[in-house]
Amino acid sequence: MVGLAAMLGTGVFAVWTPALALSGRWLLGALLLAAVVAGLNAASTARLAMVHPESGGAYAYGRRRIGRPAGVLAGCVFVVGKSASAAAAALTIGAYLWPGHERVVAWLAIAVLLLVDLRGVVRSMRVAAVFAAIVLVVVAITVVAGAASVPTDVAGIGSGEGVTGLLAAAGVLFVAFAGYARVTVLGEEVRDPARVIPRAIVASFAIVLVVYGAIGGLVTVLAGHGVQFGPAPLHDIADLTGRAGLPALVTVAAVLGAGGVLLSLIAGVGRTLFAMADAGDAPRVLAVTSVRRVPQRAGVVAAVLAAVVASAGRLSWSLALSAASILCYYGVAHVAAMTLPRRRSVDLAWPVAGLVGCVVVVAGIARAAFGGDLAG
């Protein structure tokens, strides 16, 4: 349930508008490509987690299988990527809670949740499961109500920004799948990780793929009927239904989902920085904890990084930076997976295909960014 809760936090509420602008009528194709890349990433990390059931994800795998520089690279891009994810979560809260003032709300959300983190309060797995259940129910209600409220006007929908747009959209949509990595970094904290971790990844992945497919299909249909989406697309769908109370319900779910993810990300990035500092891979000044055993200095740095990214006030840029960085992180995981003992030829084919997928999507994101196609 940990991976499911992470995946249903920010992405489900935030990715659709920028992805639609990039891919146009090919939104579902971009979603499928994102799912394939995420699936290949999951395959490599699951194999690594079975062989090395330890916390740390690609940071630990890179150090162990390739060498310290690879681990440091994975740790650095993880920090950058998850800081951008935290900024995206904070901006999502702003988009749903106070449209037009996303940046101010993002700063306030980061500051408040940093204080919560510094007091040693983190989301438990039980709370995360409750949040995920609430989000699932609200999203299901919104999709069903939205499907029953499709306008009669037909406006058509463009093809976006071509192949580059499709690849960049896949990168943005990939952010919505990235939560399954949360399962692999808990290798030391579950019983029988060789059995539990792969099953947890597959189950979480399957559920969110169905949910995202339903939302993506509805967004495509509505766009084809002339519906314009802003930074809060699920709120726009709720408004379209005309059902009293549904927009407010969506706002509450978005704040709970994105807020919970933001708290987890501030804590997670802070603890990653602490672990890297403790291992000598980051400034030693960050390897200090409070009386509550909270890495406060690292936590503050994590919050500052998120606030800096959020200062741009552009959700699409935060999502793109997060996707590019995390895909680089998984690139290290794929290379590490290539060094594992192989019993079948497919054991090498999967990480090679995954690495190629990561490189191609990152290239698409970079071209869209430098080409000015990332709007909003």
Query: Tell me, what amino acid is at 224?
Result: G
Give domain status of residue 79, yes or no: yes
Q: What are the pLDDT digits (tens) for 219-270?
A: 999 999 999 999 999 999 999 999 999 999 999 999 999 998 998 899 889 8
Give the residue with greater pLDDT, 63 vs 344: 63
CATH number at residue 66: 1.20.1740.10
Q: How far apart are CA 266 and CA 44, in angstroms?
A: 26
Dig out the tokens for 243 from the structure: 């059902």
Give domain status of residue 348, yes or no: yes
Using the Cα atoms of residue 60, residue 62, residue 67 and residue 70 in order, give the sign of their dihedral: negative
pLDDT at 188: 47
Give domain status of residue 144, yes or no: yes
Q: What mean pLDDT comes out for the span 293-320?
A: 93
Mean per-residue pLDDT of the chain: 89
Q: Which of 51-60, 231-240, 271-280 has the lowest mean pLDDT?
A: 51-60
Number of domain units in the chain: 1
Note whether 306 and 110 are within 8 A (CB). Answer: yes
* Residue of 122, 124, 117 lying closest to 290 (CA atoms): 117
Give the residue with greater pLDDT, 213 vs 295: 213
Give domain status of residue 321, yes or no: yes
Q: Which domain holds residue 363?
A: 2-370
Dig out the tokens for 2 from the structure: 């940990």
Give domain status of residue 211, yes or no: yes
Give domain status of residue 376, yes or no: no
Give domain status of residue 154, yes or no: yes
Distances, alpha carbon 103 to alpha carbons 100, 106, 261, 311, in Å:
8, 5, 17, 6
17 — pLDDT class (breaks 50, 70, 90): very high
pLDDT at 30: 97
Give domain status of residue 375, yes or no: no
Q: What are the pLDDT digits (tens) for 174-205?
A: 999 877 666 555 544 456 666 666 677 777 88
pLDDT at 317: 94
pLDDT at 123: 61
pLDDT at 56: 74
